Structure 1
Amino acid sequence: MRGLDSLKRWLEQHARAAIGALGRLARRPAGSLMTTAVVGIALALPGGFLVGLDNLEAATGGWDGNPRLSVFLEKDVPEDQQARMADRLRAMDPILGVERIDPDTGLAELREQTGLADSLSLLDDNPLPPVLDARLIEGIGSNATDTLLAEVQSMAGVDEIRLDRLWLERLQALTSLAGRVVTLVALLLGLTVALVVGNTIRLDIANARPEIEITKLIGGTDGFVRRPFLYAGLWYGLAGGVLAALLMSIGVALITGPAGQLAALYDSGFVPAGPGLSGTLALVATGGGLGLLGAWLAVGRHLADIEPGH
């Protein structure tokens, strides 16, 4: 029972400290809003980049992960030779399957996909060559790709080869690099948040120096004196996290219309997504943690220097 009473008193002390810290922030709204705005913007920048990378991965995620190799043959290659070439391609390790596309089929697909049926009907002859469309294994390395391209190019009857989706592989590499850069930026801005909150708490400690001295003089412990400042840092961080999530949601809402129009041009149903509930909670938790860290550093450094009579 005694332990339960101690826990109840401990919870009451922390509740009073948290509410009191929130009340002090509310009594000086201008300064509190400025600090919250700095924290929110600092959190929104890396958060926005991460949301952008997630949306980019979602936009390209619907594409087939296996690169395709288009082998354009010379127009006079007979069909039996085309079949032998297709069999030879199927026997190569990096190739999962091969589809033969004759010129008539290719022209029909071109009419359907480009909407140039009227213009193409004016042609006297079909200008398209036979094509072997090969589907490669996912994640094929550059060395294996170079070897495969050289081997295919050396085959008799091959006019031109083209590796599709190379741009997407480059995009994925750039996305990976961007993720590393965003992580670095997030660490730097996280440090900025901790320093901003810490500096604000330092000023609060300096302004409350007489009150702190009196509290210590009548027997107040360091923990009792420290508690309101730690909660003030926590409130700054939590409010900054909420503001960051709000800014990111507004940003996504502003680009949803143009992004939808662009996706429609590519026959895609992609719609940009905001931070969502999990992202918002992560932002708020991160902001609260950084605010608490900044307050802890400031309190630990400056509060010990304040003693009655000094």
Structure 2
Amino acid sequence: MPPEDIHAPVRAPASDAPPRNEHSHGRRLGSWQEHHGWSAASSLRRLASRPLGSLLTIAVMGLALALPLAFYLLLGNVQKLGEALGQSQAISVFMQPGQNAQQAQMLARQLGDRAEVAAVTVKTPQQGMDELAKMQGFSGALQTLDDNPLPYVLQLQPKAETSAAAIEQLVADVRDMHSVELVQDSGSWRQRLDALLGVGNRVVLILASLLALAALLVVGNTVRVDIASRSEEISVLLLVGASSAFVRRPYLYAGIWYGLFSGILAALLAVLIEFALAGPVAQLSRAYDGKLQVGGLPLWLLLAVPLAAAALGWLGARLVSAWQLRRLG
């Protein structure tokens, strides 16, 4: 048998025989460990012996695994963008005309005592007039007014953990107050954004599942071709007493190597995408006065991807090798 063969020396099958005493049990355990190490190294050398085919397989799997990471990154930043654009936008309460500053402060204290409200800001009619004067086209029209027709406006900032139902109830209660003329709330916009993000999360989950299945099939097909090309050698090993676990062990390690390297490639591609978006995102953040804080993928996820891909590669190799060995046996 060639020295670079994927299977261990002929004496290794004896490691799967039942032990007769403690000494034989120790030898069996040592041989089992030796064969695991030999299988891992031999399968890695076999991948290196055909670099083009191995690189293509790893590249296909890496791209498949990088896609859901990219969509997850995009979805998380869309959520942050929604927050910057006003996902938690304050509720504007317009008081009835003729209400004075004392009544506005009294209503502000009353609303500030509610559990759903984090802060209340009172905007005077003069402040509203100054804001209109800064807008193009309003300055000339405002000069013709004899008095200020704008009412007091209260800006309610709901607490971050407040549910959508609680905010809706808050808006309904404020509208029923006799001193309130109008309430403007972005709750419907927040609900649409939350629903859109929920759909996006489900799409990312489905996409990740489909692409993980595709990566599993790629590994399985690669292992199937490898086993088919060595069917005669495997048949000889089975005839001389090698167990199925002994024969398929190198192929399982091959699946692990494929998955591990493709997972590392997927994580690197995700990091490259983050770097590619860093410049435009920084410019967008400056346009919103630094309110837009875009984040990257968490470190735990980047570290978990290679491990999950290795497990996926092992599973694909395990399923295909078991099916192929049953045919050969």
TM-score range, shorter chain: 0.7 to 0.9
Corresponding residue for residue 12 of structure 1: 34
The CA distance in 2 between the partners of 1:300 and 1:118, in whole Å, is 75
Post-superposition shift, 1:145?
4.0
Question: What amino acid is the match of 1:33?
Answer: L
* SS of residue matched to 2:274: helix
Q: In the alignment, what sits opposite 1:246?
A: 268
Check the 8 A contact 2:120/2:154 in 1, yes or no: yes
2:277 to 255, 258, 276: 255
Per the TM alignment, residue 302 of structure 1 is displaced from its structure 2 partner at its CA by 0.9
Do the aligned residues in 1 keep the contact of 2:72 with 2:204 (CA within 8 Å)? yes
Secondary structure of the residue that 2:242 maps to in structure 1?
A: coil
Pick from 16, 20, 27 the counterpart of residue 49 of structure 2.
27
> Which amino acid counterpart does residue 220 of structure 1 have in structure 2?
A
Residue of structure 2 in register with 1:70 after alignment = 92
Change (3 A) 1:214 1:93: closer
Partner of 1:267: 289
Whether the 8 Å contact between 1:40 and 1:241 is mirrored in structure 2 is: yes
CA contact (8 A) 1:67 1:137 kept: no
Residue 206 of structure 1: CA displacement? 0.7
Q: 1:93 to 1:253 in 2, by over 3 A?
A: closer
* Counterparts of residues 134-283 of structure 1 (less than 5 Å): 134-164=156-186, 167-268=189-290, 272-275=294-297, 277-283=299-305
> Offset of 1:44 from its aligned partner?
0.8
Partner amino acid, structure 1, of 2:69: G
Say which is worse superposed, 46-55 or 116-125, in terms of deviation.
116-125
CA distance in 2, matches of 1:53, 1:200: 33
How far apart are residue 233 of structure 1 and its match?
0.8
Change (3 A) 1:226 1:167: same
**Structure 2: distance between partners of 1:269 and 1:84:** 32
**In 2 relative to 1, CA 19–144 (structure 1 residues): closer, same or farther, beyond 3 Å?**
closer
Aligned length: 303
Residue aligning to 2:13:
none
SS in 1 for 2:59: helix
- Partner residue of 1:42 out of 64, 78, 89: 64
TM-score, length basis structure 1: 0.82
CA distance in structure 1 between the aligned counterparts of 2:209 and 2:55, rounded to whole angstroms: 23
What is the letter of the counterpart of residue 175 of structure 2? Q
Q: Which amino acid aligns with 1:73?
A: M
The one-letter code matched in structure 2 to 1:297 is: L
What is the alpha-carbon distance in structure 2 between the residues aligned to residue 96 and residue 39 of structure 1? 48
Secondary structure at the counterpart of residue 202 of structure 1: helix
Tell me how far apart the structure 2 counterparts of residues 210 and 45 of structure 1 sit (CA, whole Å): 39
Q: Report the equivalent of 2:122.
A: 100
Q: Counterpart of 2:289 in 1: which secondary structure?
A: coil
Q: Percent identity?
A: 37
Aligned-pair CA distance for 1:5: 5.2
Secondary structure at the counterpart of residue 129 of structure 1: coil
Which whole-Å CA distance do the structure 2 matches of 1:233 and 1:302 have between them? 15
Gaps of 5+ in 2: 1-21
Inter-partner Cα distance in structure 1 for 2:95 and 2:190: 25
Deviates more, 1:67-76 or 1:278-287: 67-76
Aligned mates of 1:80, 1:270 — CA distance in 2: 37
Q: Provide closer, same or farther for how the CA distance between residues 149 and 165 of structure 1 changes in structure 2, counting only shifts above 3 A.
A: closer
Q: Secondary structure at the match of 1:71?
A: strand
Distance 1:50 1:201 in 2: 30
